[in-house]
Structure 1
Amino acid sequence: MSLPRLRLERCSFDNGIWTIDAEEAHHLVRVRHCYTGSLVEGLLNGEKITLRLHCGGGAVTARELSRETEAAFEPRMELVLGLLKNDQLDEALRFCAETGVFRIHLAVCERSVPRYEGARLADKMKRWRKILDEATKQAGAAAPPLLCEPVPLSAMDFAAMPAQRLAAMLSDGTLPLRDAAIESALALAVGPEGDWAPEEAELLLAEGFAPVSLGARIMRASTAVAAFCSGAAMLYKK
């Protein structure tokens, strides 16, 4: 049985002892019913740290017992994701963390309904990163996916992405995902609700994305993220 998990970014460390921040402490004690002597697993910067809790004096602390670096997840996946409505994007981000996505590039597309800028964007980025942090605890991943701020699809830095590129599309002439030879690093692309606009599909094809099909049925965008990323991970052979 796995240990209760917490993220340690907001916790402080001194001489082998972690002071657990209030939100994580509340979750461990009130939700997970941990107590003095409980073993828990801390997640920080790609490392998994085994801790023994001490609850008392109005604070929760933990002694570090051991730590190990998590092996790099393969394949290394980067996801270009058309900006989605709140509930759909929340689900998609959770699926990214659960399926091992390394980096998420949010793309503002023609059919993307939300538009964020300034303080509102900063608040959204903070919320989205918190969703990724929470999802890594559930998945037992030591590090959350990196999240890039939304930019127009036409302004995206495709040159920095892996050479193998696959885009989920609803058009004819797509390659079934099961027939793709998945490499150790790849970029995947999933559009917003309603799929890519024609000029966006053309741009992706021009940038070397091969069009792939995720099956005969039309999925919600967040479901497509789960199917595409988990499918690519399962099809990868070292």
Structure 2
Amino acid sequence: MSLPRARLDRAEKISDNMWSLDLKESHHLVHVKRCRIGEEFEGLLEGRKLLLKIEGYEQGRVIAKERGKLPIYERSRHISLLIALVKNNAFEDILNHATELGVAEIIPILAERSVVQLKGQFTKKMERWRRIIAEATKISGIGNPPLLNTPLKVQDLRDESLPSLRLLGALTDDAKPLGSVNIKQQDDVVFAVGPEGDWTEGEMAYFARLKFLPVSLGPNILRANTAAIAGLSYIILCTEGV
């Protein structure tokens, strides 16, 4: 059985081996995970996983002693998900599962057919999405959360910022089956998934100029969240040589 986990990004190191957790993570450990004094938990921090033991509480904060480092697995390939904004529940589902799978970067796209608008809600949305990602790292034990980019339009994408292998989930006749693409273990990959109703012709033309390869995930029409996770799972398995 795995230990409870907390993020240490906002914790304070008060001595060589003692930590004071922030109020949110302290509440999570004590009131959600029901951890008590003397119990151990895993602390996640950029690229590290620490074993800690709860020593006490101070003004609502957990005081924990560092007992050692734990092994942490970080993927060697940079896998990016470029995902059109879809309805809130579906988009949050994508954030959760993409984080658990170990993507390095998530790039939200304001597609022409996206039904979600961010006017007046941008800051709150980004804060909520980052919280969802942070929670997902605690489920999967990931030290480094994926980078969440500011939402862009397709036309804002730049060639120099993209890896060499660029895959575009598409419903077009020229889309190759994803399983037929030669994805090497050394490849960094970006995988793009459009909104319900797919990309517009103009967006597809821009992807073509950026040398994205249209790929198909099978004969069935998939929802965006299903397509994103199915495609990512296959790509990650290929790059990890599983």
Contact preservation (8 Å) 2:74, 2:142? no
Q: TM-score, normalised by structure 2?
A: 0.92
Most deviating of 57-66 and 192-201: 57-66
1:54 aligns with 2:55: yes
- Counterpart position of 1:129: 130
1:170 aligns with 2:171: yes
1:220 aligns with 2:196: no
> Whole-Å Cα distance in 1 between the matches of residues 170 and 146 of structure 2?
24
Once the two structures are superposed, the pairs formed by residues 57-76 of structure 1 within 5 Å of their partners are 58-67=60-69, 70-76=72-78
Once the two structures are superposed, the pairs formed by residues 66-145 of structure 1 within 5 Å of their partners are 66-67=68-69, 70-117=72-119, 120-145=121-146
SS of residue matched to 2:174: coil
Tell me: CA distance 1:237–1:24, structure 2 relative to 1, closer, same or farther (3 Å).
closer
- Counterpart position of 1:188: 191
Tell me: CA distance 1:74–1:194, structure 2 relative to 1, closer, same or farther (3 Å).
farther
**Structure 1 residue ranges, 4+ long, deviating more than 3 angstroms after superposition:** 55-59, 68-72
Shift in Å, 1:149: 0.6
Number of matched pairs: 237
> Whole-Å Cα distance in 2 between the matches of residues 96 and 213 of structure 1?
19
SS of residue matched to 2:149: strand
Shift in Å, 1:37: 1.4
> Whole-Å Cα distance in 2 between the matches of residues 233 and 80 of structure 1?
15
Answer 1 or 2: which has greater strand percent: 1
Q: TM-score, normalised by structure 1?
A: 0.93
Most deviating of 1-10 and 52-61: 52-61
Structure 1 runs not aligned, ≥5 long: none
Tell me: CA distance 1:181–1:107, structure 2 relative to 1, closer, same or farther (3 Å).
same
Most deviating of 53-62 and 150-159: 53-62
Structure 2 runs not aligned, ≥5 long: none
- Counterpart position of 1:26: 27
- Counterpart position of 2:154: 153
Name the aligned partner's letter for residue 90 of structure 1.
Answer: E
Contact preservation (8 Å) 1:74, 1:233? no
1:205 aligns with 2:208: yes
Cα deviation code 1:4-50 (max 9, x no counterpart): 11111122111021112222122212221211111111111121111
